[in-house]
Amino acid sequence: MEQTILRHMETVRGITEKTIEKIPEAIADIVPPGFANNIRWNFGHIAVVQEKLVLGVLSEEMGLPEAYGTFFAPSTKPEEWKETPPTLAEIAEVLKEQKRRIAQFIPGRWHDKLPTPFTNRAGITFYTVGETLLFSFYHEAMHIETIKRIYRALPSR
C-alpha cells in the first residue's frame, strides 16, 4: 500500500508540475474579480500546506525557504506582499524538491501519531502523518482547480 500512495503522490504532484510549466510569468499575479488570490499564491500555498501537513505537524524541520510562510500561508494575500515573491520557476523547483524530500521521509512513518491531533480549518481532525499526507492530495487538487479557474477568468492569455 505504501508504494501505491507514493505513486499517487507522484501523480498528483506531476499534475501540479505540468500545470505550473504552462503558466506564463506575466499572468501569475493577476487576481481576477471574484478571486482572493492569484496563480502564484496558489502554487506557493500548495507547497506551504503540504510541508505543514507532513513535517510541521510532527515538529520536524521544514525545508521550504523561510519567506514562503510570509507569502503563501493560509490567510495571506498577494495585496499584502511587501517584497518580491518567488518566480514560478523557483516555486516549481521547490515543489519538485518537496516531493523528493517527502518520498524519502514518509516510508515507515504512515502510522506515526502526531504529538497532538491536528484539526484543520474545515474541522477535520487528523491523528497520524499518513492521514495528513492523504488529505494534502485533496488540498493540492483543490488549488489546481482554482488555478485553472483563475486562468480561464483572465481576459487575455
Report pTM. 0.95
Counted domains in the chain:
1
Which distant-in-sequence residues (6+ apart) come within 8 Å of 18 by Cβ? none
What's the grid cell of residue 82? 511587501
pLDDT in tens, 47-68: 999 999 999 999 998 899 999 9
C-alpha cell at 109: 512513518
Domain limits at 147?
2-153
For residue 2, pLDDT over 90 is answered with no
User: Residue 149 and residue 145: Cα distance in Å, rounded?
Assistant: 6
How far is C-alpha 152 from the chain's CA centre?
Answer: 21
- CATH code for the domain in which residue 65 is found: 1.20.120.450
